[in-house]
Amino acid sequence: MDGSMGVIGDPLFALNLVDAAPDAETVRVLQELDLGAADRYECLAVMEVTNRLIAAMQGMQLAAMGRFITQYDPLARRYAAADVASALTWTTRATASRLQWGEHVTTTLPRTLAALCAGVVDIAKARTMIEQTEIIDPDIAGQVENTVIPQAENRTYRWFRDTVKRTIATLDPEASEQRRQAHRHPPGLRAPEVQAQPRARRLRQSQHPHLQLPQLQPASQKLRVGPHRPVSGRPNLGRQSQTLVQVSP
């Protein structure tokens, strides 16, 4: 394959491919590659550039979703997820979540969207930025992405996530604490002492509040069942007797 990037086997091919922009020319080069002749370094280069291309396509998709939802009739927006889910063969729930992402990045996080479309960050990092800035003021969200995105290229997901959280904690400590508490106690989670009870026990207590059920023993005081051993020391396959051994607390 001839081209500005060289050919498989060319010492500079992998380096040129890694630096390639996620554009139509790069897609054309990839389509014409013969990976059967590629070495491991060239395969790594292909993985890197395809990762950027995937991020760019997902960024374009989020941009389209953000535009789509703003063009939808506000009185009928509840049907938007169903329309998109039908077109993409996704579940309605997953589609509704992506539509919210698209609306958020197009209205509040333009720099994050641009970095995603350029392949600088991937969808996992964009999701972290979206979810961490949903509950904070849009102006502060803009400051967060202006702080993090310029440093994000070639960074790990962990670095990106921790930097976003640290920046929010500095700029908006109250929102950071709210998110921390929401993570510790998600909506719908029962109190620990109630959650620890078996479901059948909770149902019986709710249906018969006057019924006094025995308290469950701690694990350290439960009975342990041990196999019976005959005096001869040989296993007695014909007997099914078992010995109850009390375990002291």
Instruction: Classify residue 170: in a domain, yes or no.
Output: yes
Instruction: Classify residue 175: in a domain, yes or no.
Output: yes
Supply the pLDDT for residue 227: 55
Instruction: Classify residue 194: in a domain, yes or no.
Output: no
Domain that holds residue 159: 111-186
Supply the pLDDT for residue 4: 61
Instruction: Classify residue 191: in a domain, yes or no.
Output: no
Kindly state the average pLDDT of the residues 134-149: 95
Supply the pLDDT for residue 157: 97
Residue of 59 and 236 predicted with greater confidence:
59
Q: Rounded to an integer, what distance in angstroms lies between the CA atom of residue 185 and that of residue 183?
A: 6
Instruction: Classify residue 143: in a domain, yes or no.
Output: yes
Look-up of token digits 């960050």: 121
**pLDDT of 217 strictly over 60:** no
Look-up of token digits 């849009």: 138
Residue of 65 and 201 predicted with greater confidence:
65
pTM here is: 0.67
Mean pLDDT of the chain: 79
**pLDDT of 53 strictly over 70:** yes
Q: What's the structural domain count of the chain? A: 1
Share of the chain above pLDDT 90, in %: 47
Give me 243's structure tokens.
């010995």
E strands along the chain, which residues? 224-227, 242-245
The region, left, alpha or beta by phi > 0 then psi within -120 to 50, assigned to residue 226 is: beta
**pLDDT of 203 strictly over 50:** no
Supply the pLDDT for residue 141: 96
Instruction: Classify residue 135: in a domain, yes or no.
Output: yes
Supply the pLDDT for residue 30: 86
Q: What is the band of 178 on the pLDDT scale with cuts at 50, 70, 90?
A: confident
